Amino acid sequence: MSRQYRVAVVGATGAVGEEMRRTLAERGFPVSELTALASARSAGKELAFGDQNIVCRELREDSFADIDLALFSAGGSISAKFAPIARDSGCVVVDNSSSWRMDPAVPLIVPEVNPHDAEWHSGIIANPNCSTIQMVVALKPLHDAVQIKRVVVSTYQAVSGTGVEAVTELQRQVKDISEGRGAQVAVYPHQIAFNCLPHIDVFLDDGSTKEEQKMVDETKKILGDTSIAVSATCVRVPVYDGHSEAVNLEFEREITPDQARDLLARTPGIVVEDNPETYLYPLPIRASGTDPVYVGRIRRDPTVRHGLNLWVVADNLRKGAALNAVQVAELLVQKNLIRVP
């Protein structure tokens, strides 16, 4: 009988935590017991896991004594405090917050891109930002083939990336506006319904946002190449699920659109949808609830010597968060990198 693991989901009642529970069950991860952890106000709630219900427990410092693997999706301050506690209890942590991503002692992993980095973990592995994950999955085969010099990306990010309260706000604003009332603003600084906000996370001193800086820094770390120039503009759009990205690439050598399509179509985790004659291209409404990264609109950029444009779409709660974390956990099992007494 194959080894099974005692698994905890931290932040189990949130949108990503719910997807983590669902994904663990759907993919048949070898769980002997699943522990759902959240704040005190969620303790006692019944949560679904596969065909059973489990009772959510309060997250405490002693929560990890009998846990082999913990998937964290509870915010940066929670991860900063509890991930080291879990690690020191003998548990391997896969953390979805930004707390550990740029720590040089912590691997930042997308399994289709840099699985080898799992081998040097010291108990904590970081899950990248949702917008970074889908982009680097598309970049990896192209970078391996002809080496990317420069990336310019503009994102169109769904409100579910902010959380359940943002989805509720969009729903409420659409209803209020359609019924002739004004839109009430709470989650975002401006109305999101029928609008676009070029502002995700806080602004930095140089005028960029933290979300944009994440894409710059994380892309270089995951691809293991600090020479790549990356520029990002991140925009929140009134879409419930699914992030979209317009990605402009400049390469060291020539690559044709047909060669790029072939490379991408042969890459696990990618689905190429690229037939303008039949209006086939990736759409967030089709990506929602699915696992792949979708790539289309692959065409030359005539303004540089070796340039291509791509359109990249994925479900931000699945591949952009929960699925990637579970795939990292599967990688740890495959490589026997989960410490079990």
90 and 137 co-located in one domain? no
CB 231 within 8 A of CB 152: yes
Q: Is residue 341 part of a domain?
A: no
42 and 87 co-located in one domain? yes
Closest-CA residue to 150 (of 25, 250, 244) = 250
- The predicted structure's pLDDT at residue 75: 87
pLDDT tens across 224-255, in order? Answer: 999 999 999 999 999 999 999 999 999 999 99
Largest distance between two CA atoms of the chain = 62
Half-sphere exposure of 324 (CA within 13 A, CB side): 34
CATH number for the domain harbouring residue 243: 3.30.360.10
Q: Is residue 173 part of a domain?
A: yes
117 and 143 co-located in one domain? no
Q: Is residue 273 part of a domain?
A: yes
Q: Is residue 340 part of a domain?
A: no
Residue 251 corresponds to which tokens in the numbers above? 């390469």
154 and 61 co-located in one domain? no
Q: Is residue 255 part of a domain?
A: yes
Residue ranges of alpha helices (H) inside the chain are 15-26, 76-88, 130-146, 164-178, 210-223, 257-265, 284-287, 323-334
130 is catalytic: yes
Question: Would you call 292 exposed, middle or buried from its count of C-beta atoms within 10 A (0-12, 13-18, 19+)?
Answer: buried
pTM metric for this prediction: 0.96
- The predicted structure's pLDDT at residue 127: 98
Among 56, 121, 143, 243, the active-site one is: 243
140 and 113 co-located in one domain? no
227 and 268 co-located in one domain? yes
Q: Is residue 339 part of a domain?
A: no
155 and 287 co-located in one domain? yes
- The predicted structure's pLDDT at residue 340: 59
Q: Is residue 201 part of a domain?
A: yes
Residue 337 corresponds to which tokens in the numbers above? 């990198």
39 and 154 co-located in one domain? no
256: containing domain: 132-316
Low-confidence ranges of the chain (pLDDT < 50): 1
Closest-CA residue to 224 (of 303, 136, 294) = 136
- The predicted structure's pLDDT at residue 339: 72
As a dihedral over the C-alpha atoms of residue 296, residue 130, residue 104, residue 150, rounded to 10 degrees, the angle is 30
10 residue type, one letter: V
CATH number for the domain harbouring residue 26: 3.40.50.720
Among 130, 190, 199, 306, the active-site one is: 130
189 and 52 co-located in one domain? no
Half-sphere exposure of 28 (CA within 13 A, CB side): 2
- The predicted structure's pLDDT at residue 1: 44
DSSP letter at 252?
Answer: S
Closest-CA residue to 324 (of 112, 177, 103) = 112
- The predicted structure's pLDDT at residue 81: 97
Count of the separate structural domains present in the chain: 2
243 is catalytic: yes
95 and 156 co-located in one domain? no
188 and 295 co-located in one domain? yes
Half-sphere exposure of 197 (CA within 13 A, CB side): 23
Q: Is residue 120 part of a domain?
A: yes
CB 96 within 8 A of CB 78: no
76 and 193 co-located in one domain? no
